[in-house]
């Protein structure tokens, strides 16, 4: 997804004719890496291309999350402390309450803010944004305007109820409980301001959040294992038959936590430590999952540059038919190799190169789908068929009437447009330009204009993306 990584037809109720997605890898696997057309445009080192990957903002938010999972594994009580230094003047803080999304609420999930404290806090209230339960956002009103560059510290106490397990960010099942986007999410877009995007009924994300230096503590029944975002320390005893797990990820837009009867295995590639966990009732071998993840990291790094994080954890959930990406962690709910590959690609596109998942869902979903082609190029017939779709790739989450339409256009046509653009510009020139885009926008919230700038010397590629409705004329540099 633009949060929800990759869907299989099963996850969409089997209604889908996925020209671009589910069967995409199977369909193209027999077409070996087709050599791209002869490069017609050489990379020229445009001004958009930095010498090295951009460093994260040193004034990015600092977030401390503490979660306590109940004995029955259905309720999480938590606190969140945020030190926030805005780059624009503000008089409020807006937190998105993702578990109150309509679909999650139907399964019984909810996120309620119980208390808010802080020296600058005047009051807190909910806003609906089309979500269920108490609402889709919690707005903290400040007692005075906070000037750009000044910091404030706010602490929220909250209760998260985990609904029935399914293909969602939060849930509980026989052997596992998980919550991702499970805490109030700071909805800030640097340079733009607060995101108040409406919730939609589609199976995809609508959030926008900045990278934050994030510390996580999870307390859970001692017999369970925690796999989460960040570099995890060994657990310690917390008394009463419970253990305490901690991790830190200095560059997390959001976090994912899975707590279950996991058997784990690890692998290492390019200095990245990978940990996979498989539930007791799952026949998969965790070592095979870890090794497959390592292989995906390696081949994606060849195309897009170094893997963004020091660690990657992959808890394997029951097969709900897809995967959901989070910074340095993946909720993997499918055994299909292409789902894992897609979610690993999201570490570059969403994790590092962020986007407003409501406004520009294609910036992460089309790229993660296109990235599946490191395993085998898309067939020309497939590309042609996908590009014949009418709907523009660059729609917002409100522009798609159904999950099928959303997936077909954003994932399927979006990936085909990027593949076609690569073909038009020449593979080497296009890959170089995409790396420039990745390096220039690392750890920010990217926009289509950022991509257009990186492609400025490749008019043939730009033309393809404009024709597909991914870029529009306003995105192009003067
Ligand atoms: Zn995806």
Q: Can you tell me the mean pLDDT for 182-193?
A: 97
Q: How far apart are CA 8 and CA 322, in angstroms?
A: 6
Ligand 1 center–CA 324 separation, angstroms: 7
Residue 438 pLDDT exceeds 50: yes
Ligand 1 center–CA 340 separation, angstroms: 10
Task: Write down the mean pLDDT value for the chain.
Answer: 91
376 — pLDDT class (breaks 50, 70, 90): confident
396 — pLDDT class (breaks 50, 70, 90): very high
Q: Can you tell me the mean pLDDT for 252-266?
A: 98
Picking from 22-31, 87-96, 427-436, which range would have the lowest pLDDT averaged per residue?
22-31
Ligand 1 center–CA 373 separation, angstroms: 14
Ligand 1 center–CA 366 separation, angstroms: 8
Ligand 1 center–CA 239 separation, angstroms: 39
Ligand 1 center–CA 371 separation, angstroms: 10
Ligand 1 center–CA 262 separation, angstroms: 24
Q: Can you tell me the mean pLDDT for 163-186?
A: 97
Ligand 1 center–CA 1 separation, angstroms: 4
User: Which tens digit of pLDDT belongs to each residue from 54-66?
Assistant: 999 999 999 999 9
5 — pLDDT class (breaks 50, 70, 90): low
Ligand 1 center–CA 121 separation, angstroms: 37
Ligand 1 center–CA 5 separation, angstroms: 3
Q: Which of 131, 80, 127 is nearest to 104 (CA)?
A: 131
Ligand 1 center–CA 282 separation, angstroms: 24
Map the chain to HEC letters: CCCCCEECHHHHCCCCCCCCCCCHHHHHCCCCCCCCCCCCCCCCCCCCCCCCCCCCCCCCCEEEEEEEECCCCCEEEEEEEEEECCCCCEEEEEEECHHHCHHHHHCCCEEEEEEEECCCEEEEEEECCCCCCCCCEEEEEEEEEECCCCCEEEEEEEEEECCECCCCCEEECCCEEEEECCCCEECEECCCEECCCCCCCCCCCCCCCCCEEEEEEEEEECCCEEEECCEECCCEEEECCEEEEEEEEEEECCCEEEEECEEEEEEEECCEEEEEEEECCCCCCHHHHHHHHHHHHHHHHHHHCCCCCCEEEEEECCCCCEEEEECCEEEEECCCHHHHHHHHHCCCECCCEECCCCCCCHHHHHHHHHHHHHHCCCCHHHHHHHHCCCCCCCCCHHHCCCHHHHHHHHHHHHHHHHHHHHHHHCHHHHHHHHHHHHHHHCCCECCHHHHHHHCCCCHHHHHHHHHCCCCCHHHCCC
Question: Beta strand pairing status for 311-316 and 329-333?
Answer: parallel
Ligand 1 center–CA 407 separation, angstroms: 10
Q: Can you tell me the mean pLDDT for 37-42?
A: 42
Picking from 198-207, 256-265, 305-314, 411-420, which range would have the lowest pLDDT averaged per residue?
198-207
Residue 7 is predicted with a pLDDT of: 55
- In this structure, the dihedral spanned by the alpha carbons of residues 139, 143, 144 and 146, taken in order and rounded to 10 degrees, is -50
Would you say 344 and 330 are in contact if contact means Cβ atoms under 8 Å apart? Answer: yes
Ligand 1 center–CA 369 separation, angstroms: 7
How big is the CA angle at 303 (ends 302 and 305), to the nearest 5 degrees?
70
Ligand 1 center–CA 50 separation, angstroms: 27
Q: Can you tell me the mean pLDDT for 422-448?
A: 97
Q: How far apart are CA 426 and CA 35, in angstroms?
A: 10
Ligand 1 center–CA 368 separation, angstroms: 6
Q: Which of 254, 258, 235, 309 is nearest to 63 (CA)?
A: 254
Ligand 1 center–CA 343 separation, angstroms: 6
Ligand 1 center–CA 445 separation, angstroms: 17
Ligand 1 center–CA 6 separation, angstroms: 4
411 — pLDDT class (breaks 50, 70, 90): very high
Q: Can you tell me the mean pLDDT for 116-134?
A: 97
Residue 253 is predicted with a pLDDT of: 98
């Amino acid at each position: 997804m633009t949060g929800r990584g990759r869907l299989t037809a099963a996850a969409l109720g089997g209604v889908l004719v996925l020209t671009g997605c589910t069967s995409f890898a199977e369909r193209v696997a027999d077409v070996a890496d087709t050599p791209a057309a002869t490069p017609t445009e050489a990379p020229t080192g445009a001004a958009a291309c930095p010498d090295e990957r951009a460093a994260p903002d040193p004034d990015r938010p600092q977030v401390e999350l503490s979660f306590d999972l109940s004995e029955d594994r259905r309720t999480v009580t938590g606190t969140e402390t945020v030190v926030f230094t805005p780059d624009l003047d503000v008089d409020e803080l807006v937190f998105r309450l993702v578990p109150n999304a309509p679909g999650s609420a139907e399964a019984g999930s909810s996120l309620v803010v119980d208390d808010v404290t802080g020296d600058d806090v005047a009051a807190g209230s909910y806003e609906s944004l089309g979500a269920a339960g108490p609402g889709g956002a919690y707005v903290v009103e400040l007692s005075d305007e906070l000037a750009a560059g000044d910091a404030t510290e706010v602490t929220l106490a909250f209760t998260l109820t985990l609904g029935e397990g399914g293909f969602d960010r939060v849930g509980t099942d026989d052997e596992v409980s998980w919550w991702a986007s499970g805490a109030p999410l700071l909805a800030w877009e640097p340079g733009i301001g607060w995101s108040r995007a409406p919730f939609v009924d589609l199976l995809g994300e609508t959030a926008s959040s900045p990278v934050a230096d994030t510390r996580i503590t999870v307390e859970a029944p001692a017999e369970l294992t925690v796999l989460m975002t960040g570099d995890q320390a060994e657990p310690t005893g917390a008394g009463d038959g419970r253990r305490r797990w901690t991790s830190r990820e200095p560059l997390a837009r959001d976090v994912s936590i899975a707590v279950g009867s996991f058997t784990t295995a690890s692998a290492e590639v390019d200095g990245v430590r990978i940990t996979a966990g498989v539930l007791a009732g799952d026949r998969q071998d965790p070592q095979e999952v870890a090794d497959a993840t390592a292989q995906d990291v390696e081949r994606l790094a060849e195309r897009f540059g170094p893997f963004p994080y020091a660690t990657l954890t992959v808890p394997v959930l029951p097969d709900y038919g897809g995967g959901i990406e989070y910074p340095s962690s993946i909720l993997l709910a499918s055994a299909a190799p292409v789902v894992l590959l897609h979610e690993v690609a999201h570490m570059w596109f969403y994790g590092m190169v962020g986007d407003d998942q409501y406004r520009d869902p294609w910036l992460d979903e089309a790229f993660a789908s296109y990235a599946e082609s490191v395993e085998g190029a898309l067939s020309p017939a497939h590309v042609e068929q996908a590009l014949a779709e009418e709907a523009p790739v660059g729609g917002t989450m409100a522009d798609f009437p159904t999950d099928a339409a959303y997936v077909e256009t954003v994932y399927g046509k979006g990936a085909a447009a990027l593949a076609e653009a690569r073909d038009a510009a020449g593979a080497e020139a296009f890959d170089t330009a995409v790396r420039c885009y990745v390096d220039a926008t690392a750890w920010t919230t990217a926009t289509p204009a950022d991509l257009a700038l990186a492609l400025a010397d490749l008019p043939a590629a730009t033309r393809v993306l404009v024709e597909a409705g991914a870029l529009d004329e306003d995105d192009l540099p003067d």
